[in-house]
Structure 1
Amino acid sequence: MQKEQKAILELANEVLIPEWQKEREFQKKLEDWAKGEHARPYRPRETNGEYDAIEQNSKVPLLGLIVRIFGQGLELIDYAPGDEKMKDDLWKIWMANQMPSRQKRLWKAAFTGGVGYALALPGDPLPQIKLYSAKNMIAVYQDPEYDEWPMYAAEGTPANSSEFHFRVFDDTKVHTLGMNAEGGNVKFITSEEHGAGVTPVVRFAGEVDTEGAAEGEVERLIPIQAAIDQAKFDLQMTQTFSSFKIRYATGMAAPDNEDDAERVKLILAQDRILLSENSESKFGTLDGTDLQGYIESGKASKQELATIAQVSPKAIVGAQANTANGAEAQAADEASTMRKLSDFETVFSPSIGQLNRLTGALAGIEGAGADYNGRCTWRDSEIRSLAQIADAVAKLADDRLAIPREALWEMLPGVTPDKVKAWKSYEGDAFSELLEGIGRGSGGAVERTEA
């Protein structure tokens, strides 16, 4: 036991804690950019309080909006394992962990920091699923591009204002360590077996390259977000100090005292007609700076952000007068977003299956741990008009295609697998059965009375 404790302490001190601290700092930066709490735009060295106020109001937190857009478009509504007999038990675990609503936190973590994690451990009466962002958990893989399960995973949780509990997971045990806020003074606390047979952590990464590095939506967009903030700051500075006309007068005698000087300033500021007894006096105005260039600069950066992020320009730039409306036009506008969401569904589906295999094995469901034939059903968030849907379903319902009518129900927007299952359980014409029941209750056939 002493040898095992020593090995875990060495692993934590030399590898896991330094890597966790490094990743935590990096993820905090990405989180700040997503929240709009990032670095301020460039400004001149010599400034005053008015500059500070303008700079503070110049941030346009669009990165957080992009994370929300993708999170809103992604929702798992059903999981069908390879063996249908396991479905109810696996879905019961998913529902018991409130994953229909909590899954959004997992997508947000993956979109913000590049990766999110789900930890599954035995529970009473069902396995428990805990979600983590990359700010609080790391996972170490022998081959990060290929391996399904990590060699080790670790997460840090504050125990109090100055100490952390640092848990290390391997394929057999959970090791709990204690350390200070700086990652020092590491102490061994306890070890417990988790019974999963693998390191019980599942990775959800939106984009992973051949080296196993994950990248989220925020990191690549930071330079464009900085350009948008700078354009907004420059616009507000110019609007505040240079956008108004300046009236001037030359050839007038200088005021003798401060009171006269203030009176002349007031006259220049308010009078519509300026008079001077000196024939050499001249009056005129200096035009204010045109703001259109600053506005166009900010709009161009927002267009660039929408293009790189693959979201609708309407969501970033705003509605424009010459933009077509209607379901078909909106669908075309969001086609790029739909393609990206489809990619996310493709890469997240195996992780959903991996998590269900893990929780199924922890719950003792026979065959769950080896079921690689599961299928995920995601909510269809694509924009379509009612006419398009009705036309498609009507054509597919053609008797010549021999498609069962019940199979077309899933194409209807908002119809979940549970609702389809409920519909299939109905027998006969419910309205006719209702009328028959009324007739039996009245002791005979229902009579119609014509007015």
Structure 2
Amino acid sequence: MTDQLTYLLQKLDASAHRYAELDKYYEGRQPLAFLSPEARTALGSRFGRMASNIPRLAVTALAERLRITGFSDPALWADWVRCDLDQTSGTAHREALLLGDAYVIVWADRLGRPAVSVESAKQVTVMTDPGTRQITAAVKRWEDRIAKTSTAVLYEPDRITRLVANQIGAVGSGFKVVDEIANPLGTVPVVRLHNSDRILDRHWHSEFDGRGHSEIDDLIPLVDALNKSLADLMTTSEYVGRPRRWATGIELTEEPVLDEDGNETGETVEVNPLPESHRMMISESPDSKFGQLQAADLQGYEASVRVILGQIMAVSTLPAHYVGVFTDNPASADALRAAEASLTARAEARQATFGRSWEQVAKLMIAVRDGRDPQLIDDVRVQWADAATRSVAQEADAVVKLHQAGLLPVSTALAKLGYSADEIAEIRVARRAEALDTAGLDLGRPA
């Protein structure tokens, strides 16, 4: 167990730097890149946070299209809602899209009901079998900064072990076992949402087994270039974007030089008698002349920003109206769907990727609820909301036509319109009540 625990904890620590960098780009806190030393000196601290937060947009644009609406087992939805997974499943998707991985732990609460929690890849990691690619062990580690202790829970197919270390950032040898219970599920109750379109992932030459792919990995250099162009634009606008005025034939004025305490030192310095803040310039000298320099043309920076945004759109599949290119704004609902076709296809691919993980979560929930072996549970299918953007009128019109043609029953039609299982049940109850009321009124009429 010690070697296994040490490997998993080292794997967690090895990912810390990468996750910290991804967090900075997601929050728009990354430092400016591609800047010359002269530009950094000129900027100082005024534009230190110049960032166009495209990475967050790329993640949320996909995550908002990954909405689970139900399962092939209708009885599972009540436990799903009770565990707040109708809310936290979206968080799991954002974590997986950003960090490459997210995790879900399934266990039982004190009443024997399924208890499910969404976990971050910063605290949880897994070990997989190279042959079957099944999870053979997992660990969750967290730290108490006040008590200065580290706690780890090691999940194995036959047991679950809780360990504590009296230090921050402890490794395997620093932990002591404080509790151990049997695992009646016979499998590791940890499921990984793995964001990858490849079989083997070995990013940045890591010695550990594959980590998922972040949606912003390919965007990082492009976002750096975009922020640099924006910073150059702001710098040029600050210094030469506004027309500068000049004057000749005016004598400079002298002002005393003061020390740190505000006392005169006896020295003087010549200053401009007409500072930039003056709205009007007056001179009594007949030789005075005034003029204005031509302002800098900022169109070159605009062209640079558009070129970089074009590359960002190509890599991230974000349509033009998502990144602020308003000249290409779709003029109709059909044009909007066409512009978002690539983003929709990517979202549907993520639905297929994450769907297998959520099906495994569903099997574990059923196993906890019914006391069954999760390996013997039939396949449970996840039902997703449509990833495409469609207006309410378009969606309703298409579904109504299919229902009137007899191709879709009412429940399926409501599900295609985006209603959850609970909402469909409420609608069916309300329709049944209305039908009974109508029947009662008809029976009460005189013949």
State the TM-score, normalizing by the size of structure 1.
0.81
Give the AA of the match of 2:32: R
Question: Residues 282-431 of structure 1: matches in 2 within 5 Å?
Answer: 284-318=291-325, 320-321=326-327, 323-366=329-372, 369-385=375-391, 388-389=394-395, 391-393=397-399, 395-397=401-403, 403=407, 405-406=409-410, 409-410=413-414, 412-421=416-425, 430=434
CA apart distance, 1:429: 9.5
SS of alignment partner, residue 220 of structure 1:
coil
1:235 alignment counterpart: 233
1:199 alignment counterpart: 188
The structure in which a higher percent of residues are helix is 1
Aligned counterpart for 2:85 among listed residues 82, 93, 99: 99
> d(CA) in 1 for partners of 2:89 and 2:136?
25
Residues 42 and 289 of structure 1: CA distance in aligned 2, closer, same or farther (over 3 Å): same
Aligned length: 421
Contact 1:268 1:274 in 2 (8 A): no
CA apart distance, 1:138: 0.9
SS of alignment partner, residue 219 of structure 2:
helix
Deviations 1:388-425 (A, max 9, x none): 445534553565xx535436624652333444455566
2:2 alignment counterpart: 9
State the TM-score, normalizing by the size of structure 2.
0.82
SS of alignment partner, residue 46 of structure 2:
helix
Is 1:224 matched with 2:255? no
CA apart distance, 1:189: 2.2
CA apart distance, 1:306: 2.5
Deviations 1:160-188 (A, max 9, x none): 43321122221112222233223256121
Contact 2:330 2:339 in 1 (8 A): no
Is 1:74 matched with 2:60? no
Residues 429 and 204 of structure 1: CA distance in aligned 2, closer, same or farther (over 3 Å): closer
Contact 2:226 2:308 in 1 (8 A): yes
CA apart distance, 1:21: 0.6
CA apart distance, 1:118: 0.7
Deviations 1:271-293 (A, max 9, x none): 57878655xx8764332221222
Residues 427 and 169 of structure 1: CA distance in aligned 2, closer, same or farther (over 3 Å): closer
CA apart distance, 1:298: 2.3
Contact 2:351 2:384 in 1 (8 A): yes
Question: Residues 36-47 of structure 1: matches in 2 within 5 Å?
Answer: 36-45=28-37
CA apart distance, 1:137: 1.0
Contact 1:360 1:369 in 2 (8 A): no
> d(CA) in 2 for partners of 1:434 and 1:330?
44
Is 1:211 matched with 2:217? no
Aligned counterpart for 1:169 among listed residues 136, 139, 155: 155
> d(CA) in 2 for partners of 1:208 and 1:167?
30
CA apart distance, 1:39: 2.3
SS of alignment partner, residue 143 of structure 1:
coil
> d(CA) in 2 for partners of 1:367 and 1:16?
27
CA apart distance, 1:357: 1.3
Deviations 1:267-326 (A, max 9, x none): 996557878655xx87643322212222332233233223211122211225x1452333
1:117 alignment counterpart: 103
> d(CA) in 2 for partners of 1:424 and 1:269?
73
CA apart distance, 1:104: 1.1
CA apart distance, 1:266: 4.9
Residues 231 and 153 of structure 1: CA distance in aligned 2, closer, same or farther (over 3 Å): same
Is 1:56 matched with 2:57? no
> d(CA) in 2 for partners of 1:263 and 1:425?
82
2:207 alignment counterpart: none
Residues 209 and 266 of structure 1: CA distance in aligned 2, closer, same or farther (over 3 Å): closer
1:155 alignment counterpart: 140
Question: Residues 128-147 of structure 1: matches in 2 within 5 Å?
Answer: 128-143=115-130, 146-147=132-133
Contact 2:123 2:142 in 1 (8 A): yes
Contact 2:402 2:408 in 1 (8 A): no
Residues 101 and 275 of structure 1: CA distance in aligned 2, closer, same or farther (over 3 Å): same
| Structural RMSD (CA) | 3.3
Contact 2:191 2:357 in 1 (8 A): yes
Residues 130 and 286 of structure 1: CA distance in aligned 2, closer, same or farther (over 3 Å): same
Contact 1:172 1:194 in 2 (8 A): yes
Residues 395 and 94 of structure 1: CA distance in aligned 2, closer, same or farther (over 3 Å): closer
CA apart distance, 1:54: 2.5
SS of alignment partner, residue 218 of structure 2:
helix
> d(CA) in 2 for partners of 1:305 and 1:48?
25
Contact 1:153 1:199 in 2 (8 A): yes
Contact 1:307 1:313 in 2 (8 A): no
> d(CA) in 2 for partners of 1:312 and 1:71?
15
Contact 1:118 1:129 in 2 (8 A): yes
CA apart distance, 1:26: 1.7
User: Which stretch of structure 1 is more off in the superposition, 99-108 or 325-334?
Assistant: 325-334
Contact 1:195 1:362 in 2 (8 A): no
1:186 alignment counterpart: 174
In percent, how many aligned pairs have the same letter? Answer: 18
CA apart distance, 1:131: 1.5
User: Which stretch of structure 1 is more off in the superposition, 126-135 or 208-217?
Assistant: 208-217
